[in-house]
Structures are given as C-alpha cells and as structure tokens.
Structure 1
Amino acid sequence: MPSPRVSRAANNAANPMNKIEFMSLLTNRTNSSDPVSVRHRASDSPVHRKDSFNSTSSTSSQQQQQQQQLPEEDCMKLNPSFLGIALSSLLAVDLWLSKTIGVCAREGSSWGSARPLMKLVEISGHGIPWIAGTLYCLYKSDSNAGREVILNLLFALLLDLVLVGIVKGIVKRRRPIHNRMDMFATFSVDKYSFPSGHATRAAMVSRFMLNHLVLAVPVRILVMLWAIVVSLSRVMLGRHNVTDVLFGFFMGHMQYSLIEYLWLSPSTLPALFRM
C-alpha cells in the first residue's frame, strides 16, 4: 500500500494547475485583506495623484493669498492715520483734564463745599435770567439809543439759543459721566454737552457790554472776570468737558461779530423803535 505522501506527490504531479490556482487565490486574498497595499495601490493610480496635486495646489494658493492679505491688515492696524492719532490723543487729554478740574461735580468731591457757590455762578450765566432782564430793561427804556442797544442784546441772546441748540443737536456729545443733572431750567438739547451754552453766552455778552456800554475800569475788569469764571465753573461742576467750553467761548466771540454785522437800527426796523 503506497504512503499518503507518495500519493499526494503523485496527484500534484498529475495536476500541476491545482497548485497554481491555489497560489493565485492565496495571493489575491492576502492583497485584498491588506489595507496598506490597497492604499498604496490607490495612491499609485493616476487619478488619485491628479486629485492630490489639485488639492495641494489649491491649499498652497490659499495660503499664499492669506500671506499676501495679512501684512496689509497689519499695516492698517499698526499704522493708523496721523489725524486719527491726533484726535484720539486730544480726546484722551480732554477727558482726563475735565475729570481733574471737575472738583465740584459732587458733594463728596475735593471742592464739594464750593458747589453751591458754583451753582450761583451757573445761574448768573443762564439764558432765562438774561432774556427776562433784557425784556424788563427794554420795557423801562425811554430813549431810542438805549432801546437800540437793549434790543440788539435781546436779539443776540435769542440768536445764541438757536445756534447753540442747532450745534448740540448735530454733534450730540454726551455730558461727562461725573456730571450730576441738577441744572436750572434745562431743555431737551441740554442733555448734550458740545458746545457750552453758558460759555458762548458769557463771551458774547461780555464783549457786547464792553463795546456798547460806558463802564468804569473796575466794572470792565469784573465783566471780563465774570465771563472767565462762568466758563471755568462749567468744567468744575462737571457739566462740560474742556473742549466744550473752549469752543463755546470762541463761538460766543464769533456770534458777537455776527450781531455787529446784523445790527438792528431805527432805519432797518423803524416799527420796533416807535413802541
């Protein structure tokens, strides 16, 4: 009886194709079950190489665009305009100086005990007392020269209210945060800070009085000091910033020049001088 090994060898010799088929089947199963070989095979394909090249090129182009855009954005942030730097610096100095000078803004401030006195100065520069006093003087005046001066002062006070209200409504700058809204007889536009109406009125009225009234030297000095103290009290009470007062003082001087140009006389308005 022949041994099994001899019979297996005889069968293999008789059918050599069985061995080849078995080896090819084993090779295909091994290659299909190996993910690494599948990935290598897929990566070696021309289509995959083309897709990977396109994705790599698009990514590199996006990175180049970002690198080209970033320096421009950095330049915009790190190199602002000179005007912007100047305005920001001026605003910072204005806020700091206004808060430093606002020593009477509250009762607990460093000069809080002087707050009632500063409020009296505030009322002395208010528009309502000045308009009421001018109307009374116009009613009591019995000379054409005096009526002409008082009438133009009334016109200047009314013009001041209109112009300051227009500028405040356009700019709409809020009052300082340390301000306490306890002012005398305020209107809707008085919630805004720029410019200071008291400063415009003080500058305009003082210049008007110095040029159209015959005053002694001590009285002229008092008028100038009154205009300065009224303007300074606006910052000390925390009502306005420094730039509000400075612009208001300048605006008051310009308003007086406008009144001189639009001066009302008996020849221009004769009906008013016959009353």
Structure 2
Amino acid sequence: MPSPKAKNSARSGSPVPGGSSFEFMSLTKPLNRSSPLHVQRQGSDPTTARLRASESPTRRRGSNSSTASGPPEEDGIRLNPSLIRVALSSLLAIDLWMSKRLGVCAKEDSSWGSVRPVMKLIEVSGHGIPWLAGTVYCLYKSDSAAGQGVMLNLLIGLLLDLVLVGIVKAVVRRRRPAHNRMDMFATFSVDRFSFPSGHATRAAMCGRFLLVHLVLAAPLRVLVVLWVLLVGLSRVLLGRHHVTDVLFGFWMGYFQYNIVEMMWLSTETLQELLGQTVLN
C-alpha cells in the first residue's frame, strides 16, 4: 500500500521511482511550433494562425508550379511559326541569294563588267519611252485603217502597262537589290521600287502582241522570243531587279495582253472616233 508521501509526490508531478514517467514526458516534450496551441501561447490571433497553417509548403509549390507552367505553353504556341511563313522566308532567302550571285554586271568592276554596255543597250530597248514614241510615230505614219487600229491598241496596252506597274510598285514598295547602281535611263519616282520589273511586263506584253498581230517569218518570231528573254535576263545581270521581280513581271505582262484583247478597238470603232474628231 503506497504511503501518503508517494501519493503527494504523484499529485505534485515529481517522478516516482519505479512508477510511470508518462506525465513527466508529456510535460517536458517541446511543443510543435506550427501547432495552434503554440501560436496561441505566443499571443497571436487564432484566425491568422489558421491561415498560416493552411499555407503549407506543398500548396505553395503547387501554386507556383501552376502559375509558372501557364505562360511558357502559351508562348510556345505563339512562337510556333506556320508552314507557309517558313516556306515564304525560305523562298525569299533563295531569291536574294540568286539575285546577288547573278548580278555580275552590276558595276564596271564586276566579274562581267565588260558586258555591262551591251546589257544597258538591251535595257533601253525594253524601256517605255522608246516604245511609246515608236508606236505614236507608226500610228501617225500608217496609211491603212487596219495598221492604225493595231498601233492604237498597242498604244493603249503600253499605257495600261505603265499604270498597272506603277500601282503594284507603289503598293508593294520593295527595294531594289543592294548591289544595284541607279544609273538607269529616264527613271521616275516609282522606279526606286523593284517589284515587279516594268521591263519584263512590257517585254512579255509587246512580244505576245507582235507574235499575234504581225505576220512574221519563223526566224523573226524566234528573235522576238529571244529579245523578251534577254530583256528579263538583263534586269538581273545588271542588278536592277530580283529574280522574282522578273518572273512575276513576265506573268503580269502575259496576262496584260488578255486585257488588251478584251478592250480591243476595231477598225470601225477607230473610224468612228476619227470621224467625230474631224467633225468637232
């Protein structure tokens, strides 16, 4: 039977030899600093303690990872270029490379600088002013109504070519190649732009016009085709245009002739216009 001293010592919390030390360990065990009891003992607000306890490191890491993983995915979608854009960029790079390599007559000290005068003569043969002046002269000197009708329609086609090429150049506004030397014959404000080649459009339209409306022998027809190709080639060799400028110019001039055919003025219409002009 325990003595009264043992009972008093057990009540006061002192260790009892041979007895259980549970009460002593529970009193001496350090409190968890993250527990609400520890926060309350420090005199803080219980609401603030619950909010701090809820913000665990795992939840913080989860929120940071979700926030950081959002923008890179969106940026990856935005920065992913389309196939068409990549193809156009590749074609543009090839065009610039070919135009630079083929500009062998751009300057006198170029690899083919000695051929530059011949290329410039071909350039003048495809210029708009000689063609306009020659067409007006043939229209004035022609004795037959059929010849006058052909020359008048050719004059309309030349004027149409100047208007359409000027509009496209003003809209696209592509600069000429960097190795170009601006010593062209009779240039205008829109001639500082490169796309499309006005010489190529004019050569293609006039070449097709001559082959259709003038009776020419086979050797002369071959010469007309060669002249058209040489005019386009001279634009690249002289460094005036890029390769795509000339190719698009050929295509544009070929279809300009279709517009001339749709607007064709017959001999009867021409006689009526000339008669009204004389009467007035």
Compute the TM-score of the two structures, normalised by the length of structure 1: 0.79
Q: Aligned ranges for residues 95-110 of structure 1 at < 5 Å?
A: 95-110=96-111
Do the aligned partners of residues 65 and 147 (structure 1) sit closer, same or farther apart at CA in structure 2, a change above 3 Å counting? same
Deviations 1:234-265 (A, max 9, x none): 01111111111000000000001111111011
Q: Does 1:216 align with 2:217?
A: yes
Per the TM alignment, residue 72 of structure 1 is displaced from its structure 2 partner at its CA by 2.9
What corresponds to 1:20 in structure 2? Answer: none
Report if aligned partners of 1:144, 1:273 keep a CA contact under 8 Å in 2: no
Report if aligned partners of 2:99, 2:236 keep a CA contact under 8 Å in 1: yes
Using the alignment, how far apart are the partners of 1:253 and 1:99 within structure 2? 26
Report if aligned partners of 1:172, 1:193 keep a CA contact under 8 Å in 2: yes
Letter aligned with residue 226 of structure 1: W
Do the aligned partners of residues 65 and 149 (structure 1) sit closer, same or farther apart at CA in structure 2, a change above 3 Å counting? same
Using the alignment, how far apart are the partners of 1:128 and 1:59 within structure 2? 76
Deviations 1:179-236 (A, max 9, x none): 1111111111111111100000000000000110111211111111000000011011
Letter aligned with residue 262 of structure 2: Y
Q: Aligned ranges for residues 134-153 of structure 1 at < 5 Å?
A: 134-153=135-154
Q: Aligned ranges for residues 82-101 of structure 1 at < 5 Å?
A: 82-101=83-102
Using the alignment, how far apart are the partners of 1:241 and 1:70 within structure 2? 40
What corresponds to 1:67 in structure 2? Answer: 69
Per the TM alignment, residue 74 of structure 1 is displaced from its structure 2 partner at its CA by 2.1
Using the alignment, how far apart are the partners of 1:272 and 1:249 within structure 2? 33
Which runs of 5 or more residues in structure 1 are unaligned?
1-40
Report if aligned partners of 2:196, 2:249 keep a CA contact under 8 Å in 1: yes
Which runs of 5 or more residues in structure 2 are unaligned?
1-41
Q: Secondary structure at the match of 1:145?
A: helix
Using the alignment, how far apart are the partners of 1:129 and 1:55 within structure 2? 86
Per the TM alignment, residue 125 of structure 1 is displaced from its structure 2 partner at its CA by 0.2
Q: Secondary structure at the match of 2:268?
A: coil
Letter aligned with residue 242 of structure 1: V
Deviations 1:4-31 (A, max 9, x none): xxxxxxxxxxxxxxxxxxxxxxxxxxxx
What corresponds to 2:173 in structure 1? Answer: 172
Using the alignment, how far apart are the partners of 1:231 and 1:127 within structure 2? 14
Identity among equivalent positions (%) equals 62
Letter aligned with residue 227 of structure 1: V
Do the aligned partners of residues 130 and 58 (structure 1) sit closer, same or farther apart at CA in structure 2, a change above 3 Å counting? farther
Compute the TM-score of the two structures, normalised by the length of structure 2: 0.77
Q: Secondary structure at the match of 1:260?
A: helix
Q: Secondary structure at the match of 1:268?
A: helix
Letter aligned with residue 134 of structure 1: T
Report if aligned partners of 1:141, 1:147 keep a CA contact under 8 Å in 2: yes
CA RMSD of aligned residues (A): 2.6
Per the TM alignment, residue 46 of structure 1 is displaced from its structure 2 partner at its CA by 6.0
Deviations 1:117-165 (A, max 9, x none): 1111100000001000111111111110100111111111000000000
Deviations 1:77-131 (A, max 9, x none): 2x31111111111111111111111111111211111111111110000000100
* Residues matched between the structures, number: 237
What corresponds to 2:14 in structure 1? Answer: none
Report if aligned partners of 1:148, 1:273 keep a CA contact under 8 Å in 2: no
Using the alignment, how far apart are the partners of 1:219 and 1:66 within structure 2? 73
What corresponds to 1:128 in structure 2? Answer: 129
Q: Secondary structure at the match of 2:105?
A: coil
Using the alignment, how far apart are the partners of 2:95 and 2:49 within structure 1? 66
Do the aligned partners of residues 142 and 43 (structure 1) sit closer, same or farther apart at CA in structure 2, a change above 3 Å counting? farther
